[in-house]
Amino acid sequence: MLSVKHNESVTFTEDMLGKFAEIVRRYPEGRQKSALLPLLHEVQAEFGWLSVSAMDKVAEYLHLDPIEVYEVATFYTMFFLQPKGRFNLEVCRTGPCCLVGAERIMTHLEEKLGVKEGEVTADGLFSWRGVECLAACGYGPVLQIGPEYTFYENLTAEGVDELINELRKKAEGAKLDADS
Amino acid sequence: MARKLLLTHIDIPGINTFEVYRQKGGYRAVEKALKTLTPDDVLEEVKKSGLRGRGGAGFPTGMKWSFLAKPEGIPRYLVCNGDESEPGTFKDRYLMTHIPHALIEGMIVSSYALGANTSYIYVRGEMMPQIRILEKAIAEAKHAGFLGKNILGSGFDLELFVQPGGGAYICGEETALLESLEGKRGNPRIKPPFPAVSGLYNCPTVVNNVESIAAVVPIINDGGEEYAKIGVERSTGTKLISAGGNVKNPGVYEIELGLSVEEFLYSDEYCGGIANGKRLKAVVAGGSSVPILPANLILKTLKGESRLMTYESLADGGFQSGTMLGSGGFIAFDEDQCIVRNTWNFTRFYHHESCGQCSPCREGTGWMEKVLHKIEHGHGSFSDIDLLVNVAKNIEGNTICPLGDAAAWPVASAIRHFRDEFEWHVTNGAEARQRNYGLANYADPLEPVV
Amino acid sequence: MAEDIKFKVSIDGIPVEVPPGTTILNAARQIGGDIVPPAMCYYSKLEGSGGKCRTCLVKVSKGSEKDPRPMPKLVASCRTTVMDGMEVQNITSPEVIEARRGVVEMLLINHPLDCPVCDQAGECHLQDLGYEHGLEGTRYEFERRTFDKIDIGDKVQLHMTRCILCYRCVFVADQLTPQRVHGILGRGDAAEISTYIKNAIDNDFSGNVIDVCPVGALTDKTFRFKNRVWFTKPVDAHRDCPTCSGKVTLWYKGEEVLRVTARKDEYGEVEEFICNTCRFEQKATSDWVIEGPRKIKHTSVISANHYEQLRPPAVVKKNLTLQEANKEQFERADRLLP
């Protein structure tokens, strides 16, 4: 797991810092470590993943040793220690969803996107992975997309195609907006 | 029509807002408790109700509350367990999505009973939309004066916060949840001390499931005795059941405990039978951790009695022929499902979710997964089946937390009841990769077992 | 002064009286001998340790005088405190032996069993356990988990493949050093001890992670491959150290000090933690005041050929040529031993 230290500078915006302060106030004095998970979610929502520099910065903000942050970030599956596609599609792969075809959805995604689980498409737009039970067993197969964890239920292959097209359009639209 | 206590107003548009919830009689329990009852009165009502923890263990909630240590000058905490991650269970998501105020109201009344002035609702991180819903509901309740300082002039203060998890099934275990809430890895603590004595920030703490907390509202509104009239034996009240897998109408149903499994599974009011006109092969009745039962044993006990949706009836026969109500995650398997594949899938889940702290679970879950993978893919041997039974036995009961048991039981029960299917995978390896074993002799309609 | 309350406990039928708050394991250690449960993760000097490896599981057949019900499950003796009248079964319970055998098997399935090239061999607790409880063959037929070796600092090597995740080294860093830079990363069977980023564990007391490691996951690079421990001779010595107690064990091969460790008791626990200067920098006999041979359990392989006067076989005594050939040995023996 040993990776080279990234030294790129990470800046937390005023907005983020305001949100951080609000979160830290939820806990008793001296218990600011409790804010670690919420803060990591915020940071990941902003940057798309958790670089070492970002984690170090969180450690500094909460007065923790950096290793305490690494320990936590590597324990929980929602935190990405590598960049992901802009849309990271997470399909539930646990029993009840498999009973209603989750495995077929994952095979379909792999074919459709042309990348294996965990890999990012060449355009940087998509990545996908199987995740464990999302507590939506009655609506399976399901997938979610962070950072707001938008939920898509009762998936079919056609539905997945449609979703991917929609997301592509959304990305193109955003690109046009940015260009103009 | 069965009585509903939690989902009474589920179909009313806007019930997720404070305004509509209040119009429909919401927050009456807060008014009643804070204005007319002492904290001990509330505890008494919960005790009388016979409410048992809805998260899976089924421990009496009133008794859990009464264990809470109350030393002078040390804060106490109520933490709501909304980490819902048990495969097959999705009732808490449903409740939080559609009637968030039921949970908020329950939290206020329960915090009052326990003397907690700061309470947390720990929700699994993947439920970000539900976290936003709860945060909005809390803001609404606060705005209406049901949270904050001196609620309804009672002198009782309460701050309520939502805490996101980070993606870890183990955080549904209460001490792992507390570790996570303290910003640490979700490693379960070694008990004792129990949270009632030393929990969050080393202070006395009660951890309750979302549904348990929500159930406190009707208990206070109607009285514990009234609640206890519903149900049978020590299974009182109503329970949310998540129906999934191959049932015709999957979804969350509120049932009166004591309903027969057969009615739940086949009546149109609930599951409506098996989807696509297929036949039932097996059921996991209480979330993936509980023993799987073949169709004939889930519908009737070994004594030939109709099996009921109660803690006692589902457990009838022990692990030899029974199972558990658990968290109420009801997963039905139709005739085309492969038990070996599903057991492998569940075991992969537990392997993936093991925190890695204690050796039997860390090493044993991965070992079982590998052996099951081998059998499922047609490369197994008969000795592998015995090996699985033995490894499961070496994990069970020897770990820090119940995840070890939860990983061992599905494997042990699948082999106990479906051994011929495992053996078929061994003897017909190539064929097993092409097709499923099918129903064999497990299916409904029922023949007497003995 | 309140009178000292003592709880009466029995372990495998042997009675002992201990103060309230004592764990079953420590009560057993007061009795000593074969009834002491093994402990791979518990370390009495490290607060919060224990409960994880599950090798110390015992059966509580009677909870206490007040509540004689047995405990429903086997309990970790290192983290379960005694009650008055408690009766515990360790080696007299087949259930315990069976469970422990299961735990040892779990600890071994992903262990490399590279004892022939492991510096810990001879003083490895897993080796002892495997010998006592293991099976000759393994039932595990899959590829074992492996990690790359990592140097954490210039004196300590981390060989994660051998690690059993006892967490002791993490507690050492938390409790003995000003800042912890290593920890447990990942989870489940992918969990590992690591610094995550390239980082050296470097402070006055960091070397103690070597002594507390029950296996060969953390080893002393200054001793690496120098010798097998059973060919070296432990001698207690001390020096006036400004940082630690300076009380150590020197491990000699001939006249050369191959390594320095803290002094370990019969359960493998150090008596006092030592500093890195004592451990890594002071390797000349002249640095130390020699106290005498370190007592090692006679069952340990380290005791196999130690401290005895050189007693050459009769054939040597009779034969001048052989005496001449062993001249150097005789001289050394004369010099080192009184």
Give residue-wise pLDDT tens across range C49-80: 999 999 999 999 999 999 999 999 999 999 99
Confidence tier at C337 by pLDDT (50, 70, 90): low
In the numeric block, the tokens 């500094």 are attached to A60
Closest CA to B331 of B101, B88, B17: B88
- Angle value at C-alpha B324, between B319 and B325, nearest 5 degrees: 170
pLDDT at B356: 96
Q: 3-state DSSP: chain C helix, strand, coil percent, rounded to 5?
A: 30, 20, 50
| Whether the bond into B445 is cis, omega within 30 of 0 | yes
DSSP letter assigned to residue A139: G
Searching chain A, which residue's CA lies closest to the CA of residue C178? A65
CB contact, 8 Å: C194 with chain A? yes
Residues of chain C in contact with residue B400, where contact means CB-CB under 8 angstroms, are: 51-52, 54, 76
pLDDT at A1: 42
B362 and C99 within 8 Å at the Cβ level: the answer is no
- Average pLDDT, stretch B242-270? 96
pLDDT at A3: 45
A99 and B181 within 8 Å at the Cβ level: the answer is no
Closest CA to B244 of B351, B335, B334, B168: B334
CB contact, 8 Å: C90 with chain A? no
Amino acid at B388: L
Residues of chain A in contact with residue C172, where contact means CB-CB under 8 angstroms, are: none
C189 and B387 within 8 Å at the Cβ level: the answer is no
Residues of chain A in contact with residue C184, where contact means CB-CB under 8 angstroms, are: 71
Buried b (16+ CB within 10 A) or exposed e, C31-48: beeebbbbbbbbbbbbee
pLDDT at C97: 95
Confidence tier at B224 by pLDDT (50, 70, 90): very high
Q: Is C96 exposed, middle or buried (0-12, 13-18, 19+ CB in 10 A)?
A: buried
- Average pLDDT, stretch C136-156? 90
pLDDT at C3: 63
Rounded Cα gap, residues A37 and C199, in angstroms: 24
Amino acid at C226: K
pLDDT at C181: 92
Searching chain B, which residue's CA lies closest to the CA of residue A134? B85
- Interface residues of B toward C, Cβ cutoff 8 Å, are 168, 185, 190, 351-360, 362-367, 370, 387, 393-394, 397-400
* Residue ranges of chain B that CATH labels 3.40.50.11540: 18-229
Tell me the torsion sign for CA atoms C132, C133, C135, C139: negative
B93 and A135 within 8 Å at the Cβ level: the answer is yes
Q: Is C227 exposed, middle or buried (0-12, 13-18, 19+ CB in 10 A)?
A: middle
Of B168, B353, B398, the CB nearest to C99: B398
B357 and C165 within 8 Å at the Cβ level: the answer is yes
pLDDT at A13: 95
Residues of chain C in contact with residue A3, where contact means CB-CB under 8 angstroms, are: 196-197
Nearest chain B CA: its distance from A180 CA (Å): 32
Tell me the residue length of chain B: 450
A67 and C192 within 8 Å at the Cβ level: the answer is no
Residues of chain B in contact with residue C187, where contact means CB-CB under 8 angstroms, are: 168, 185, 354-356
- Mutate: best of B169, B345, B365, B369, partner A, most A CBs <10 A: B345
- Average pLDDT, stretch C5-23? 96
B residues 415..444 contacting A (CB < 8 A) = none
Q: Is C184 exposed, middle or buried (0-12, 13-18, 19+ CB in 10 A)?
A: buried
pLDDT at B432: 86
CATH architecture assignment, domain C7-102: Roll (3.10)
pLDDT at B226: 96
Residues of chain A in contact with residue B329, where contact means CB-CB under 8 angstroms, are: 96, 137
pLDDT at C1: 44
Of C181, C184, C198, the CB nearest to A4: C198
Give the B:C interface size as CB pairs under 8 Å. 84
pLDDT at B1: 59
Closest CA to B332 of B274, B291, B290, B388: B274
**Which residues, 6+ apart, have CB-to-CB distance to B144 below 8 Å?**
B18, B22, B27
Give residue-wise pLDDT tens across range C85-120: 999 999 999 999 999 999 999 999 999 989 999 999
Nearest chain C CA: its distance from B251 CA (Å): 32
- The predicted complex's ipTM stands at 0.94
E strand or H helix at C256: strand C256-262
- Average pLDDT, stretch C318-322? 78
Of B129, B169, B185, the CB nearest to A149: B129
Q: What residues does each domain of chain C span?
A: 7-102, 115-135+145-220, 229-305
CB contact, 8 Å: A67 with chain B? no
**Which residues, 6+ apart, have CB-to-CB distance to B15 below 8 Å?**
B9, B21, B24, B98, B99
Residues of chain B in contact with residue A68, where contact means CB-CB under 8 angstroms, are: 184
CB contact, 8 Å: A22 with chain B? no
Searching chain A, which residue's CA lies closest to the CA of residue B125? A78
Give residue-wise pLDDT tens across range A68-123: 999 999 999 999 999 999 999 999 999 999 999 999 999 999 999 999 999 999 99
Q: Is C154 exposed, middle or buried (0-12, 13-18, 19+ CB in 10 A)?
A: exposed
Nearest chain B CA: its distance from A115 CA (Å): 23
Residues of chain A in contact with residue C185, where contact means CB-CB under 8 angstroms, are: 1, 70-71, 74-75
* Residue ranges of chain B that CATH labels 3.10.20.600: 241-334
Helix (H, G, I), strand (E, B) or coil at B77: strand
Q: Is the pLDDT of residue C308 over 80?
A: no
A36 and B183 within 8 Å at the Cβ level: the answer is yes
pLDDT at C321: 80
CB contact, 8 Å: B321 with chain A? no
CATH architecture assignment, domain A87-179: 3-Layer(aba) Sandwich (3.40)
Rounded Cα gap, residues B141 and B121, in angstroms: 15
CATH of the domain spanning B339-434: 1.20.1440.230
In the numeric block, the tokens 């063959």 are attached to C137
CATH of the domain spanning A14-75: 1.10.10
CATH architecture assignment, domain B18-229: 3-Layer(aba) Sandwich (3.40)
DSSP letter assigned to residue A80: -
The set of chains that have 3 or more CB pairs under 8 A with C is A, B
Nearest chain A CA: its distance from C128 CA (Å): 30
pLDDT at B204: 98
pLDDT at B446: 45
Give residue-wise pLDDT tens across range B118-176: 999 999 999 999 999 999 999 999 999 999 999 999 999 999 999 999 999 999 999 99
C115-135+145-220 has which fold? Alpha-Beta Plaits (3.30.70)
pLDDT at C306: 55
Nearest chain C CA: its distance from A108 CA (Å): 29
Nearest chain B CA: its distance from C300 CA (Å): 26
pLDDT at C313: 63
Q: How many percent of chain C have pLDDT more than 70?
A: 94
Searching chain C, which residue's CA lies closest to the CA of residue B370? C142
Residues of chain B in contact with residue C189, where contact means CB-CB under 8 angstroms, are: 351, 354, 356, 362-363, 365-366
- Mutate: best of B197, B352, B361, B363, partner C, most C CBs <10 A: B363
**Which residues, 6+ apart, have CB-to-CB distance to B16 below 8 Å?**
B97, B98, B99, B100, B101, B133, B137
C188 and B365 within 8 Å at the Cβ level: the answer is yes
CB contact, 8 Å: C179 with chain A? yes
pLDDT at C327: 79
Between C196 and C310, the higher pLDDT residue: C196
pLDDT at C106: 96
Q: Which of A93-102, B203-212, C228-237 has the highest mean pLDDT?
A: B203-212
Average pLDDT, chain C: 90
Of A1, A4, A52, the CB nearest to C185: A1
Residues of chain C in contact with residue A4, where contact means CB-CB under 8 angstroms, are: 197-198
Q: Is the pLDDT of residue C135 over 80?
A: no
- Interface residues of A toward C, Cβ cutoff 8 Å, are 1-5, 52, 65-68, 70-71, 74-75
Buried b (16+ CB within 10 A) or exposed e, A6-45: eeeebebeeebeebbeebbebbeeeebbbbbbbbbbbbbe
CATH architecture assignment, domain B241-334: Roll (3.10)
Give residue-wise pLDDT tens across range A20-72: 999 999 999 999 999 999 999 999 999 999 999 999 999 999 999 999 999 99
pLDDT at B450: 39
pLDDT at A175: 75
Tell me the torsion sign for CA atoms C119, C122, C124, C128: positive
Q: Is B305 exposed, middle or buried (0-12, 13-18, 19+ CB in 10 A)?
A: exposed
pLDDT at A7: 58
Task: Name the E strands within A6-102.
Answer: 87-92
Backbone angles phi and psi of B442, in degrees to 5: -90, -15
Searching chain C, which residue's CA lies closest to the CA of residue B361? C188
